[in-house]
Amino acid sequence: MGETRDSGSEVGTGLDLDIDVVVFDVLGTLVDEPGGLRAAIREAAPASDDAAVDELLAVWRRHGEQEQERVRQGLRPYAGTGVLDAEAARRVADEAGVTDPAAVARLATAGRRLSPWDDSVAGLERLARRFPVLGLSDASRAALLRLNAHAGLRWHQALSAESVLAYKPAPEVYRLAVDCAGCPAERVLMVAAHAWDLRGAQAVGMRTAYVRRPAGDPPAASDAFDGCFDGLDGLVAALTSR
């Protein structure tokens, strides 16, 4: 086991991890989910000003979070992100007064057209020369396929939580990645911009690295991840310098 790093510090090339596989969260970590959803809402409701778009985005995200939580608590049978996004799009359209069915249908697929952060594509390519790299996302298999193609993300394999009919941070989602990696959990590194996601990975024994993103969930003072980075370049340098 490598040295446990302080969650609030930037880790350089001395990241001391003996790992075999790197697993990445996708939404928010490698692609700009809030920015992509804002752009789609603007397209569907072009008369909306910035404040209105932000309010509509909050409606979208609140619906998704609430419904995923209902699934986690057993209050709703599993429904994939395609279903939840269609519901969210309908709510946003109702709030914005959008009545064109084609516009609502396109809005419902906004999660398939998210742009990568500036360092995501090159960073994945560099890491993939050294390690098997997996994507692990709550996005449905169909959405993940199209999102990866749109954003230019290149994996050795992309895994959807849909395969286990659960949403993060349910342990079975992370075990899906560990099982695919084919090695002990402590030799698998989970990378995410969301501290809650990394806590879920820690709970099944995975190693963890936080990458700071504008819309991520930063570590709390009580978190002790193996590394914290301002961007993907620092993580890649730390993992490939050994």
Coil, helix or strand at residue 133: strand
pLDDT, tens only, 98-151: 999 999 999 999 999 999 999 999 999 999 999 999 999 999 999 999 999 999
| Type of residue at 202 | Q
Domain 21-32+114-240 has CATH 3.40.50.1000: yes
pLDDT, tens only, 156-169: 999 999 999 999 99
For residue 16, what pLDDT band results from cuts at 50, 70 and 90?
Answer: low
* pTM for the full predicted model: 0.91
Per-chain mean pLDDT for the chain: 92
Residues 201 and 208: beta-carbon distance below 8 Å: yes
- Interval 218-234 mean pLDDT: 94
Q: Give dist(CA 193, CA 232) in Å, integer.
A: 10
pLDDT, tens only, 41-100: 999 999 999 999 999 999 999 999 999 999 999 999 999 999 999 999 999 999 999 999
Structure tokens at 216: 């991520």
* DSSP state letter for 58: H
Structure tokens at 224: 């002790």
pLDDT at 155 over 90: yes
Q: Where exactly are the structural domains of the chain?
A: 21-32+114-240, 33-112
pLDDT value of residue 75: 97
Residue 196: closest CA among 63, 78, 82, 68 = 68
pLDDT, tens only, 58-69: 999 999 999 999
| Strand pairing class (188-192; 21-24) | parallel
Q: How far apart are the first and last CA of the chain?
A: 16
